[in-house]
Amino acid sequence: MRNRFFNGLHTIIPCLVLMMAGWISNSHAQTKYLLPLGNSITQGKYNKQDPLPGEHGYRQFLYDKIHDDYSIDFVGTRGTAPYNGYFHAGSRIHQFLPDSTYDVQAMLDGLADKPDYVLLHLGTNDMGTDKNVGTHTTAGTILNDLQLLLNTLLDYNGGSIEQIFLCKIIPVAPFNEFPGRNAKILDFNSRIDLLYEDLTAARQQRVTLVNMHAPFYSNQFQLYNVDNDPSTDWDDHLHPRYPEGYQEMANVFADYLENYLSVPIRDDFNVSARSLHGYNNWVNDRTNDMFVFNAAPGTGGAVYSNYTADQGWNDLAVWTDSENRNSIS
């Protein structure tokens, strides 16, 4: 799985690292394009019904969270702008393969703006069939279908898709009422790890595994509508509750995207002109002999490290604190 860890540099010239949840200058950032790809969960279905006008499942919540900060637009031939995507209710993985019912390659060919990123949550409908989960190396299995689809996306347009966020899919709720289906989902999700491990190092760098299963397993009765009220037909075991469940999906995707998109800013400790001073609310507070976050000099704030009077750091590359996605080491 893609991991980004920044450790203290115990060298002659240690560095200050600022993890930014955004581009250095959004006003000048190049627009990037994201494709949400999947089935009725990506569509935003809930209570066994299609989303109402103005509702777009996780796509709406995610777009509203990340669009301005990262200059990301959604693409795809389904959905209403700006919450586009490519999804089909009831679809299975193999149906998105080339020359199949929902050929994703043909869909991509028709897009003016090709995606830089793909969010892939697919496989729920496969779990309800008698098709074996199998392995990614065994033809005719669900995992092999997923590998073929992943390879299609990785190879598309000469490898122009920068990053694919591949989900371990959400469970069926309540978990204990569907033991067979959920066991199959757990098997499928665990074998996604094996699929990933068999990718070349270069391809692994372009795939991020997203654990969408864990939060939905832990919060089944908050994130699904499973009230079992016999007077309604709203009991939905497959789709997240609206809006809570889809907001959670958006939050999970946003966390993974922000982790991937975070930009490191380095400042040499032995340079007197501090590049971080005045940048994104970082302040070189000479009065109190410290670096602070989101505060004017002398007013306090989140303290990160002391420096000497000549602006040389006396805590060389020792991690002290972090705030949101901003950290110093």
Range in 31-35, 223-227, 245-249, 310-314 with the lowest mean pLDDT: 310-314
61 lies in the same domain as 117: yes
Boundary of a domain, candidates 209, 237, 261: 261
Q: What is the full DSSP assignment across 56-102?
A: -HHHHHHHHHHHHHHTEEE--SBS-TTS-BEE-TT--GGGGSTTSTT
CATH number at residue 75: 3.40.50.1110
User: What mean pLDDT do residues 11-31 have?
Assistant: 45
311 lies in some domain: yes
Of the chain, the end-to-end C-alpha distance in Å amounts to 23
195 lies in the same domain as 293: no
234 lies in the same domain as 182: yes
How deeply is 117 buried, as exposed, middle or buried, from its count of CB atoms within 10 A (0-12, 13-18, 19+)?
Answer: buried
Give the pLDDT confidence score for residue 228 in this predicted structure.
54
Boundary of a domain, candidates 227, 261, 295: 261
209 lies in the same domain as 238: yes
189 lies in some domain: yes
How deeply is 54 buried, as exposed, middle or buried, from its count of CB atoms within 10 A (0-12, 13-18, 19+)?
Answer: exposed
Residue 302 has pLDDT above 70, yes or no: no
Mention every residue, 6+ apart, whose C-beta is less than 8 A from residue 142.
93, 123, 126, 131, 132, 133, 134, 188
Whether 92 and 38 have beta carbons less than 8 Å apart is answered as no
Task: Fill in the amino acid letter for 240.
Answer: P
SS3 call for 303: strand
Bridging pattern class, strands 290-293 and 72-74: unpaired
Give the pLDDT confidence score for residue 48 in this predicted structure.
86
Average pLDDT, the chain: 79
Whether 84 and 78 have beta carbons less than 8 Å apart is answered as yes
133 lies in some domain: yes
User: What mean pLDDT do residues 123-138 have?
Assistant: 97
SS3 call for 248: helix
8 lies in some domain: no
32 lies in the same domain as 103: yes
**pLDDT digits over 180-207, tens only?**
999 999 999 999 999 999 999 999 999 9
Give the pLDDT confidence score for residue 225 in this predicted structure.
87
Rounded Cα distance between 281 and 212, Å, is 33
Where is 320: in which H helix or E strand? none
Q: Record the pTM.
A: 0.75
41 lies in some domain: yes
pLDDT interval class at 47 (50, 70, 90): confident
- 């309800």: which residue's tokens? 128
State residue 106 phi and psi, 5-degree precision. Answer: -65, -40
Residue 73 has pLDDT above 50, yes or no: yes
- 């990718």: which residue's tokens? 199
274 lies in some domain: yes
Q: Number of structural domains, the chain?
A: 2
Residue 269 has pLDDT above 80, yes or no: no
SS3 content of the chain, % helix, strand, coil (to 5): 30, 20, 45
**pLDDT digits over 210-242, tens only?**
999 999 999 998 999 876 554 455 578 999 999
Whether 76 and 37 have beta carbons less than 8 Å apart is answered as yes
Give the pLDDT confidence score for residue 227 in this predicted structure.
64
185 lies in the same domain as 254: yes
7 lies in some domain: no
Q: Bigger pLDDT: 311 or 239?
A: 239
Residue 300 has pLDDT above 80, yes or no: no
User: What mean pLDDT do residues 285-293 have?
Assistant: 46
195 lies in the same domain as 210: yes
193 lies in the same domain as 249: yes
pLDDT interval class at 303 (50, 70, 90): very low
Give the pLDDT confidence score for residue 235 in this predicted structure.
72
65 lies in the same domain as 116: yes
pLDDT interval class at 326 (50, 70, 90): very low
250 lies in the same domain as 231: yes
Give the range of the structural domain holding residue 223, as residue numbers without chain letter. Answer: 26-261
Give the pLDDT confidence score for residue 55 in this predicted structure.
94
pLDDT interval class at 130 (50, 70, 90): very high
What count of residues does the chain have?
A: 329
**pLDDT digits over 76-119, tens only?**
999 999 999 999 999 999 999 999 999 999 999 999 999 999 99
Whether 196 and 255 have beta carbons less than 8 Å apart is answered as no
User: What mean pLDDT do residues 140-145 have?
Assistant: 98
User: What mean pLDDT do residues 139-159 have?
Assistant: 98
Rounded Cα distance between 86 and 115, Å, is 12
312 lies in the same domain as 253: no
272 lies in the same domain as 226: no
- Reference 58, options 66, 69, 48, 70; nearest CA is 66
112 lies in some domain: yes
Boundary of a domain, candidates 216, 239, 261: 261
